[in-house]
Structures are given as structure tokens and as C-alpha cells.
Amino acid sequence: MTDDGEASVTSPALAWRRVALVTLWALVPTFGQLSSAAAAAQVTLQVGASQGLPGLHHSALARFIAAHMAGAGLANWRFEPAAGDAIAADRVEWTFKLNPYAGGEVRNFAHTSVNERELGLHRPITIEARLYLNGEYQTLVEAQAIFHGGPNDPALATAVASVTQNLLGPSGAYRAIDLGLRRGHM
């Protein structure tokens, strides 16, 4: 009861609800900041290739690689094909080297035949992906694959996704370097 004889409107439960409501209201801007901070944490990497592969021209190769890197499902990274000859500070440079056949290889100075381009070579290749952040080299991942040829090569797509995971994934080479630096400073 109050001094003028009326019952108190404020009960402990009502006071608790008010505190909870004020706290929730104060946190609403924080949730918006968290989602924008998460979006800001996403790094965009320019994707480039040093040369083309048989049946896959240089410019098409950069688009192919960027698309299949995105398919690796890494939330903190975005991938865009490199535009022109400009060198981006945040990038992944891919190199593809045709390996010799197991039985040896004779150097061929003639152009690739139409049949080899259309049917694919089924060539072993070495894939290298180098990561640069803020213009500084970070790490390299290398893999072997069989290249069948053309812009729809499923083996090459699988190899690109695998190398991307090995480079940038949760247990990839870049994370291993990051964790190693933290341990060294402790």
C-alpha cells in the first residue's frame, strides 16, 4: 500500500520483466553490429592462373577456378576471377603443370590435335595454389590430379575444391600458419 491507500502496482515479477525488456532493447543494436562485423570479416580473394590448360583458355580457367573455390563452402572467403593483368593484394595464384607420362614423354613442338582437344588428354598434372594477403606471400599448397580436358572437367573441379580446402579450410595450410604464430607468441 502507498501513503494514499492504493495498492502498489510494482511487483517483483513486473520489475524483473522491465529489466529484461530494457536489457533486450539495449542488445538489439549489438546483434546488428555482429552481423555486419561477420560480413566485414569475409575476405575477397582475386583468383588468377599463370597459364591455360588444353581445352580451357586462360580467362575461362580463372572463372572456372573461382567458381569451384566458392563451391568448397568456406564461409569467411569470397572468390572472384582476377580482372586483367593487375595484381591484387589479396589473391590466390594457381599454376598448372602438365606432368610427363609415366613411360616418358617425347617433346612435341606441333599444335595439339583436334582429337586431343575434344577427347581430352587424361594427363597427370601438378596443381599449385599460392595465397597472398595484403600483398605478402603466405603459403603454398600442391596437389596431383588427372586432367581430362575442357571447361566441364569434373576431376579438375574436384581437385580445385580439394586444394582450396587444403589451403584455406579450418585445418588448411593458412590456418596452420596462423595457429603456429599464436603459439610462438605465447
Determine the Cα–Cα distance for residues 169 and 90; give it in Å rounded to an integer.
Answer: 16
pTM strictly above 0.75: no
CATH T-level fold of 42-102+112-184: Rossmann fold (3.40.50)
Determine the Cα–Cα distance for residues 127 and 73; give it in Å rounded to an integer.
Answer: 20
HEC letters along the chain: CCCCCCCCCCCHHHHHHHHHHHHHHHHHHHHHHHHHHHHHCCEEEEEEECCCECCECHHHHHHHHHHHHHCCCCCCEEEEECCCCCCCCCEEEEEEEECCCCCCCCCCCCCCCHHHHHHCCCEEEEEEEEEEECCEEEEEEEEEEEECCCCCCHHHHHHHHHHHHHHHCCCCHHHHHHHHHHHHCC
Q: What is the pLDDT of residue 59?
A: 78
Structure confidence by residue, pLDDT tens digits, 124-169: 999 999 999 999 999 999 999 988 887 788 999 999 999 999 999 9
Ranges of each domain in the chain: 1-41, 42-102+112-184
Q: What is the pLDDT of residue 58?
A: 76
> Does the pLDDT of residue 121 top 60, yes or no?
no
Structure confidence by residue, pLDDT tens digits, 34-90: 333 444 478 999 999 987 788 777 778 999 999 999 999 999 999 999 987 778 999
